[in-house]
Structure 1
Amino acid sequence: MTGYHAGELAAQARVGETERAEHLGRSIRSTVPAVAASFLAERQLLVVGAADEAGRMWATVLTGEPGFVSVPDERTVAVDASPRPDDPLAGVLRGSAPARVGTIALEPATRRRMRVNGVAEAGPSGLLLHTEQVFSNCPKYIQKRRPVRRIQSTEAGPARWSSALSAAQQVLVATADTFFLATADAEGHVDASHRGGLCGFVEVLSETRLRWREYAGNGAYMTLGNLELNPRAGIVLPDWENGDTLLLTGEAGTNWQERSVEFELTAAVQLPGALSMRWTEPEFSPANPPLG
């Protein structure tokens, strides 16, 4: 599946980006080229998006030493990690049935990222992803960070579920400079994308409602194209300092006049100590637009 679907084509046409998107579309492959395999093999962070057993969209973060992501052949990506048992995606990513997933591999230190989407199944030590879409993204809006230490025995507290954001979680969201977003088209093909900006680029409108501006990107409008057909969405916000992750699921819609997205939360899960490494303070991207 390397062509654009109806939602993406509609989104591109809305903003006059059809020609640019066609050009980009020629770089989307179904296989992993050698240069991309080398990039993946050096990564320490992989975001995975998928739908859970109830059809809710989630995004989660997997980490490991360089080499925990590998490419045994041009149509397969192996991930030597899997979600912890109380992660909302543990059931589908550690189960026996294949699951459609979207992934994004990020290198914050050099502002590089790459997306690999396809069908995943449980492997010997994690996931085996059979590729359908493989492509790189521009470095815009990625904050530079470097891993500073690996925690050998991270104390992972139990998952904390809620139907609304606590006061502390609202502060985390309102001061975030990065989050990751999982969406899917009408047929369930999943995509995971990155969103970044200055602290405060995500507005907390209420304990269940968020809003962010959609900054100019590569012109493909994959996320907004998915939302044209399927409002379900999942968000993960990593806490780079303490290793927690905050996972949100709900529905999202695009305000095309304002070029913004509003997200209505239906469930939140905080996973204390989910990340096995910590990261430096951010060096903000020069592409970040001013707030307001």
Structure 2
Amino acid sequence: MGRYHQGSLAVQERVGVRELAEHVGRSIGADIRDVAAAFLAQQPHLVVGAADGAGRLWASLLTGAPGFVRATGPDRIRVSGGLPEGDPLAGALATAGTRVGTISLDPRTRRRMRLNGTLAVAPGGFAVAAEQVFSNCPKYLQKRQPLELVVDGPGVVRRGDALTPGQERAVRAADTFFIATTAEADGVDASHRGGMPGFVEVLSPTELLWPDYAGNAMFLTLGNLAADERAGLLFPDWEGGGLLQLSGRARTEYGPGGSRAVRFRVEAVVEGLHPGRLRWSTPEYSPANPPHRGSTTR
């Protein structure tokens, strides 16, 4: 897999960061270095993005005792356990050859690591052969501390094709979400978006809008969306432990002065309260978060 595909290159050119992106992109490799392996071994959760059997893209959360994700070689990780029954990616993560994007985010330290590759089935879990491994800066990550592990839960509690009023409130209150995108042959990527509560606008029960803040100049997410509009969003309820998963299509809107926003159309909704979930403290907001002033484009 190349460092960037045509979608990312096109966005980098449009925004005027092609040279910077080429420099930053040198950090992308297929090797899991010792510091990355040590980081993974400390984490209690992993976000995985993939397509389900119908081709819809989702982002899901796996949890476990630290060590449930570990590097087993220079370009391979092993994940023990799986997703609860009813999670939209439960089947995909039990199927060899599934293209996956993963992100491990540590709210305690504001560190994050992404690893994208191809899944292999393994006893008691799965493995991922890495094709892209890299870390991101701590921008827009809220700091939190783990409080308790909750071992009971009904699993999936609601499915639909539009947001309920309660789900709309949860999205408006969110300071963090994860997004899975794809460019078909170039695989799947899972990334993070953060900001002050309200940075994600609910325009209707089937339409969201959020600003695209300045990041690492790679434009992997927007590049994927330029090639394929499918996207999966995951909104974690950090304090309660619930999960809100959305699948749909997204497109980037370019506004005046270099502003950008992403408009997302909801096609499927899954709300869950899974066993083995962590509850976290209230956040210490990132100093990089811009004040929320509403959207920049409509």
Q: CA deviation at 1:266?
A: 0.4
Q: 1:274 to 1:200 in 2, by over 3 A?
A: farther
Match of residue 226, structure 1, among 224, 227, 234: 224
Verify the 8 A CA contact 1:245 1:274 in the aligned structure 2.
Answer: no
> Higher mean Cα deviation, 200-209 or 23-32?
23-32
What are the superposed Cα offsets for residues 126-181 of structure 1, whole Å, 9 maximum, x if unpaired?
12000000000000000001111122x32224441101000000000011000000
Unaligned runs of 5+ in 2: 294-298
Question: Are positions 1:8 and 2:18 aligned together?
Answer: no
Q: Could you tell me which residue of structure 1 aligns to residue 233 of structure 2?
A: 235
Query: How many angstroms does 1:188 deviate by?
Result: 5.5
Is the alpha carbon distance of 1:261 and 1:55 closer, same or farther for their aligned partners in structure 2, counting shifts above 3 Å? same
- Name the structure 2 match of 1:22: 22
Match of 1:48 in 2: 48
Q: In 2, distance between residues paired with 1:19 and 1:274?
A: 46
CA contact (8 A) 2:156 2:274 kept: no
| Structure 2 counterpart of 1:37 | 37
Q: How does 1:48-197 map to 2 (within 5 A)?
A: 48-95=48-95, 97-151=96-150, 153-187=151-185, 189-197=187-195
Say if 1:76 and 1:131, in contact at 8 Å, map to a contact too.
Answer: yes
Q: What is the Cα-based RMSD across aligned positions, in Å?
A: 1.1
1:12-62 CA deviation, whole Å, 9 max, x = no partner?
001111011000111100111111111111111210000001111000111
Residue in structure 2 matched with residue 255 of structure 1 by the alignment: 253
Q: CA deviation at 1:275?
A: 5.1
Measure the CA separation in 1 of the matches of 2:252 and 2:156: 34
Q: Distance in 1 between matches of 2:155 and 2:16?
A: 48
**Structure 1 unpaired stretches of 5+:** none
| Aligned 8 A contact 2:118 2:129 in 1 | yes
Distance 1:231 1:76, change over 3 A: same
Q: Secondary structure at the match of 2:274?
A: coil
* Distance in 2 (alpha carbons) for counterparts of 1:169 and 1:248: 11
Give the corresponding residue for 2:296: none
Measure, in 2, the Cα distance between the counterparts of 1:215 and 1:159.
Answer: 33
Is the 2:78–2:126 Cα contact (8 Å) retained in structure 1? yes
Give the TM-score taking structure 1 as reference length: 0.97
Offset at residue 69 of structure 1 (A): 0.8
| Rounded Cα–Cα distance in structure 2 between residues aligned with 1:72 and 1:48 | 18
Separation in 2, partners of 1:118, 1:2: 13
Aligned to 2:277: 276
**Structure 1 residue matching 2:135: 3-state secondary structure:** strand
Percent same amino acid at aligned positions?
52
C-alpha deviation, 1:208, in angstroms: 0.4
Aligned residue for 1:14, secondary structure, equals: helix
Query: Aligned in 2, Cα 1:119/1:218: closer, same or farther, shift over 3 Å?
Result: same
Aligned residues: 290
Give the match for residue 203 of structure 1. 201
SS at match of 1:171: helix
Partner SS for 2:171 = helix
Cα displacement (A) at 1:186: 3.7
